[in-house]
Amino acid sequence: MGDPDTEDDNDWEDTRARKAFAVEAEHAGERLDRWLSDRLGASVSRSRLQTLIRAGAVTTGGNPVTETKHRVAEGEVYALAIPEAEPAEPKAEAIPLEVLYEDDALIVINKPAGLVVHPAPGNWSGTLVNALLHHCGASLSGIGGVRRPGIVHRLDRDTSGVMVVAKTDNAHRLLSETFADHGRSGDLERAYVALVWGAPERMAGTIDAPLGRHAQSRTLRAVVPAGRSDARHAVTRYQVQKRYGTDGSGKAFAAKVECRLETGRTHQIRVHIAHIGHPLIGDADYGRAFRTKVNRLPEDIRPTVAAFPRQALHARLLAFRHPETGDLMRFEADPPPDMMALTRALDIL
């Protein structure tokens, strides 16, 4: 939450080659990047290798090592996953878009769940970028980079809702500055609808907890100590809008919660809401331990909740200043049919 709105992650699931090397006694204490570079020779440049290390493509004992200056020890085995060569540039594809607003400077869309924002290993086609290149034509090409033309923020693949995309270099620069600043010195408002397991005891609150890489997964995030090297400041404000039913202990089965971002980190809402003990319904990554709660629901709604295929999160509101006119722009989108059906099922409780 993706936050949902950061663009600093790379995925290396689909690899062309995996190489592994053991550290010999005479090389103990060397920097990881230099030691691996010597093993690889000319097949991978030093700068490319450093990028791969930071992206989590190097592991030892199944755990990623993301520090290029990490010192290797005798007997350790390091594996490097080398990703597939990237296409020169994304191709335009005729993928339908729900356009909420469009002018010469920007386009606002209601992204459906299941649509990846930009091409990456394993998702070179069928993305929002492919759809935008077809819809906007040559005006979009090259703005903000070949792989992410016009993209200034992101929603996770399985998060639906409102997004803005720049169509000019000036709009891209100004919108990127707005999102990077998280609205601290300007007008930026982002609100999400979340359906969660249980309900926070307080009707409203603020989750201020730094996020970093998950210890067991390169692609997931976790709340980490503030002093850790990869810790990034993250703040989410929430307000409980409705509680659904009660279990045997008198606590709510579920709740509808509005979340507002003061920062925009990868998976931010998903990690923060799970951190306070109320993960999103359907979140297979951060709510896995709550799957059995479905079995405690009444039989008439159990199938609907159990079959919900994604995290129940929708970006319902996005407001910002138009980068060229200065007008305050405000866009809202109702949750999609799957979340509406889930809400109706919970209303029965």
Amino acid letter, 164:
V
Confirm if 331 and 101 have CB atoms less than 8 A apart: yes
Selection from 25, 52, 56 nearest residue 37 by Cα: 52
DSSP conformational letter for 79? E
Q: Which 8-state DSSP code applies to residue 72?
A: P
- Residue 289 phi/psi, 5-degree rounding, is -70, -10
187 is catalytic: no
Burial class (CB in 10 A: 0-12, 13-18, 19+), 219: middle
| Angstrom distance (rounded) from CA 100 to CA 162 | 8
Residue 56 CA: distances (Å) to CA of 51, 68, 111, 224, 300: 9, 11, 28, 17, 44
Residue 2 CA to residue 291 CA, distance in Å, equals 23
Least Cα distance to 194 among 151, 237, 224 occurs for 237
Contacts of residue 38, Cβ cutoff 8 Å, sequence gap at least 6 = none
* Catalytic residue from among 5, 156, 283, 285: 156
Structure tokens at 82: 């080398």
Q: Which of 315, 310, 346 is nearest to 331 (CA)?
A: 315
CA distances from 104 to 52, 96, 135, 164, 188 (A): 37, 20, 13, 13, 21
Cross-strand pairs, 259? 192, 238
Is residue 108 within 8 Å of 164, Cβ to Cβ? yes
Active site residues: 156
